Structure 1
Amino acid sequence: MTSEAIKLFVEDARAVPIEVGAKRLGLKFPGKRFEHAQPCPNCGGTDTFAFNTKKNVWNCRAGGVGGHDSIGMAAHCEDLDLHRREKFLAACSIVLDRSIPEEAEREAGEEREARRKRLDERRQQNEAESEARATSQAEYREKERNKARGIYRPLAPLRTSSLPFGRFYLGRRCAGFPDDTWLRVGSEVTYWHGQHERGAPIALYSGPAMVAPFISPDLQLIGCHITWIDLDRAPKFRPLLFGLTKEGAAAGLVPWEFGDRPPSAEDIAAGLYEQLGTKKMRGSKKGGLIPIAGHPEARRWVGGEGVENGVAFGEWEGWRDDSFYFAAGDLGNLSGPAEASSRFAHPTLKKPDAKGVLRPVMIAGSKPKVDQAPDDAMWVGDQVDELVLLADGDSERVMTAAAMARARARHARPGRLIPIVWPQAGSDFSKMAAEADTGT
């Protein structure tokens, strides 16, 4: 097989958009617009895997991996090691939906020259498209950041606002709230979901919300994290929202509107409607973090996944003056991607492969990816000499433990202490704080 044939085969695969690759992998398109969350075909879970057809990206929170091309997505979904040539070519074959060129293939001189010419053209086309995507993504990212600033900046600080629901929410979830101005509240924050026939977004709901900023290392606002609040819905105190899926629309059902009765359990089980998350991020979380209390100049940092856990732990230790309390947007934001070679089989969890044979679920390991970018995870100030990482005890234990170990390895520096603090098994710090506050 000529090297040009294989190189052209690979370049063709690199040109396959995420949307096309997802269809050839048999992934679902449950979202109404560009973002499509679902269980990871490799790691399992409920909504741990997602791909975005506008940004041309994919991400697996459970596996701690993601990327910008269909080859990597196919390799993750099909559990193929990209470091092995035959597995890499198998991933290319999947996204191209054609066979790998035969090893015994021979070409005449004219055919070889024609292939070389097409290879050069494909490379140039891929480079041009990559540059165009980068420009488009940068423009889209800045547009989203401006939207996040527009949401966050007009709002009042949670601790001093005349709107008490933010303090009530954290009081009930975390047994208190910080005496700081990072967290803010709004009475009518819009929840956008789906789009009209002409493509305009739909305002599904508008109501009380707590809004936290994402900040970059230069303390610039790059995004926001929104938590909608309903104090009548214990124990999470968040509203109940539903969206119509593509399958539901195809069946002739109408979109759910706030105030309607919840869809039946049968319709949800059939995938006609879906319960929507009541937390959203706008702008960028990439490389950022959520400040809760204190200042990033502190030498001691305390935080983990979730604003509520950070608040609960801060309340428990009395909001130390020498500490900066923060939250990561999610576990991947905290730990960053894993080195592929560190993946390991879960000791108990199994999933059926394409032939129905049960095989161990593969878990992203504790070793950080070698060539990752600085903003592939949250930033930590160089002056920090103690970084207390808060684990989540009600998430899958093995995957969480590997991610927390990876976060410690990623953020390690000479002389820096990085203890990992775990809540009670099957719980988290906010749940523990609420139970202690109510005496349950």
Structure 2
Amino acid sequence: MSEAIKLFIEDARAVSIEETAKILGLKFSGKRHEHAQPCPNCGGTDTFAFNTAKEKWNCRAGGIGGNDGIGMAAHCADLDVRRRDGFLEACSIVLDRDIPDEGERESDEDRAARLQRLEQRRLQNEADATARSDSQADFREKERAKARGIIKASIVLCSVAAPPQGRHYLRHRCNGFPDASWLRVGANVPYWHGQDERGGPLELFSGPAMVASFIGPGLVEIGCHITWINLNEPPKFRPKLFGLTRDGIAAGLVEWAFGDAPPPDVDVADGLYEPLPAKKMRGSKKGGLIPIAGHPEARRWVGGEGIENGVAFGIWEGWRQDTFYFAAGDLGNLTGPAEPSSRFAHPMLKKPDAKGVARAVMVQGPVPKRDQGVEDAMWVADHVAELVLLADGDSEPVMTAAAMARARKRHARPGRLIPIVWPRAGYDFSRMAVEAGE
């Protein structure tokens, strides 16, 4: 091996995974170190990933991986590094320069055949991605149709004809309810969990529930939010539900049935049964929001994460006529994703790492992710001049504060006021409203 070839190889080995990924045109996902994506060679959705901190790459579809740029380039370009010409061609890619004259090269015929294979795989990968996208779109539209069906089957909560559980629930949780037609209630809304013997969805129970629409721009219904109600279960007044886990199935236990006594605490602690949420969403929520009272044409909007807090604050304000009250559904939809570089160590919270060493919990930062899509957080109309964001005082304060600061920056526009209103420490607005009513 000539000195020129030795130096060529050593230079190639010194090229980092990050630099190789840039040369190959791979996608950087926005996460700090790990970047998952479709494999340029094998296809898929997130089958390929590289890690710039660990200097590693992996393709689950091809069952291959490594810890240098040469191997990663060879896999992406369909080169065989076990052959001398394939190895040197991979070195040439990561260095972005030609192989020295005395080095082996693949023949013109081999290169043409390799490029043809890559092109055929690219076309097949595009076809597979289109088919997956169409399938996901069909599924999403079916879910939206189911959500609209649930909404249509329910009755406006404030109407005399509506089942009273919805109004009673909000009286118990918020000390009142809005005189508006957005929120609805159903007398017997099915709760689906698990599968029956034929693999179909299993109805755990059917009961009263508050139903709320998720709407997108143009007031299009894209999904629904369901809160099941049990007025005999204070303080949340929601039913206690349990599901059998995989470990529970393996242990030979039977599904918990609504109306049964709760599973033994030891079975829950051992992971044989799990508590189930009494709130669910059907259809889509991404980029949408839940209207509570008023109309989106208003120039002042007030809302936070949950429906109950929005209702409680609206009652405290006396349901201002110039205001649209809403809920985002969850904190992520309110704030949008964070820029990875803005993460910071929690000043107090720690958790053990894989070696048992206590390390600070990392918190998503206050800076919105760059280049995020419009649907990565709830929509806010351009005409809104004041956006009042409601924080939760009973959530972890540092994480919540960072999230609310991120929401303010995410929704900021020239001339728009975005005050963040906090309840009493350790409370949310719902609990404050109940105590005020008492």
Is TM > 0.5 for Structure 1 vs Structure 2?
yes
Q: CA 1:103 to 1:416, structure 2 compared with 1: closer, same or farther past 3 Å?
A: closer
Q: Kindly provide the CA deviation profile for residues 22-55 of structure 1, in whole angstroms up to 9, marking residues without a partner as x.
A: xxxxxxxxxxxxxxxxxxxxxxxxxxxxxxxxxx
1:399 and 1:375 mapped to 2: Cα distance?
22
Q: Kindly provide the CA deviation profile for residues 346-404 of structure 1, in whole angstroms up to 9, marking residues without a partner as x.
A: 11112222222222111111111111111111000111000000001111111111111
Contact 2:301–2:324 (CA under 8 A) maintained in structure 1: yes
SS of 1:351's partner is strand
CA-CA distance at 1:70 after TM superposition: 6.3
Which structure's CA Rg is the greater one? 2
Q: CA 1:404 to 1:70, structure 2 compared with 1: closer, same or farther past 3 Å?
A: farther
SS of 1:153's partner is helix
Contact 1:211–1:224 (CA under 8 A) maintained in structure 2: yes
Residue 339 of structure 1 is matched in structure 2 by 339
> Within 5 A, what are the aligned runs for 1:2-21?
14-15=37-38
SS of 2:247's partner is helix
2:413 and 2:203 mapped to 1: Cα distance?
46
SS of 2:153's partner is coil
Q: CA 1:102 to 1:414, structure 2 compared with 1: closer, same or farther past 3 Å?
A: closer
> Within 5 A, what are the aligned runs for 1:249-268?
249-268=249-268
Matched, 1:407 2:395: no
Q: CA 1:240 to 1:228, structure 2 compared with 1: closer, same or farther past 3 Å?
A: same
Q: CA 1:374 to 1:102, structure 2 compared with 1: closer, same or farther past 3 Å?
A: closer
Contact 1:177–1:315 (CA under 8 A) maintained in structure 2: yes
Q: Kindly provide the CA deviation profile for residues 97-154 of structure 1, in whole angstroms up to 9, marking residues without a partner as x.
A: 7542546776533565487666555544443333222222111111100000000012
**Bigger Cα displacement from structure 2, 228-237 vs 111-120:** 111-120
Q: CA 1:96 to 1:349, structure 2 compared with 1: closer, same or farther past 3 Å?
A: farther
Residue 246 of structure 2 is matched in structure 1 by 246
Q: Calculate the aligned-residue CA RMSD, in Å.
A: 2.8
User: What amino acid is the match of 1:153?
Assistant: K
Matched, 1:148 2:171: no
Q: CA 1:115 to 1:340, structure 2 compared with 1: closer, same or farther past 3 Å?
A: farther
Residue 100 of structure 1 is matched in structure 2 by 66
Give unpaired runs (5+ residues) of structure 1: 17-55, 57-67, 73-81
2:418 and 2:193 mapped to 1: Cα distance?
39
CA-CA distance at 1:267 after TM superposition: 0.1
SS of 2:304's partner is strand
Structure with the bigger RCO (C-alpha within 8 Å, sep 6+) is 1
Contact 2:350–2:360 (CA under 8 A) maintained in structure 1: yes
Q: CA 1:219 to 1:195, structure 2 compared with 1: closer, same or farther past 3 Å?
A: same
Contact 1:13–1:92 (CA under 8 A) maintained in structure 2: no
Q: Kindly provide the CA deviation profile for residues 288-338 of structure 1, in whole angstroms up to 9, marking residues without a partner as x.
A: 000000000000000000000000000001000000000001000001111
SS of 2:149's partner is helix
Residue 53 of structure 2 is matched in structure 1 by 87
Report sequence identity in percent: 63
Q: CA 1:341 to 1:115, structure 2 compared with 1: closer, same or farther past 3 Å?
A: farther
Report how many aligned residue pairs link the two structures.
376
1:317 and 1:181 mapped to 2: Cα distance?
19
SS of 1:185's partner is strand
1:380 and 1:175 mapped to 2: Cα distance?
28
2:179 and 2:253 mapped to 1: Cα distance?
47
User: TM-score of the superposition, structure 1-length normalised?
Assistant: 0.79
Residue 379 of structure 1 is matched in structure 2 by 379
Residue 36 of structure 1 is matched in structure 2 by none
Contact 2:58–2:65 (CA under 8 A) maintained in structure 1: no
User: TM-score of the superposition, structure 2-length normalised?
Assistant: 0.79
> Within 5 A, what are the aligned runs for 1:345-360?
345-360=345-360
Contact 2:368–2:409 (CA under 8 A) maintained in structure 1: yes
> Within 5 A, what are the aligned runs for 1:106-255?
108-109=84-85, 112=89, 113=111, 120=119, 122-162=121-161, 163-255=163-255
Q: CA 1:110 to 1:92, structure 2 compared with 1: closer, same or farther past 3 Å?
A: closer
Give the counterpart of 2:46 among 69, 74, 97: 69
Give unpaired runs (5+ residues) of structure 2: 1-11, 28-34, 72-80, 90-110
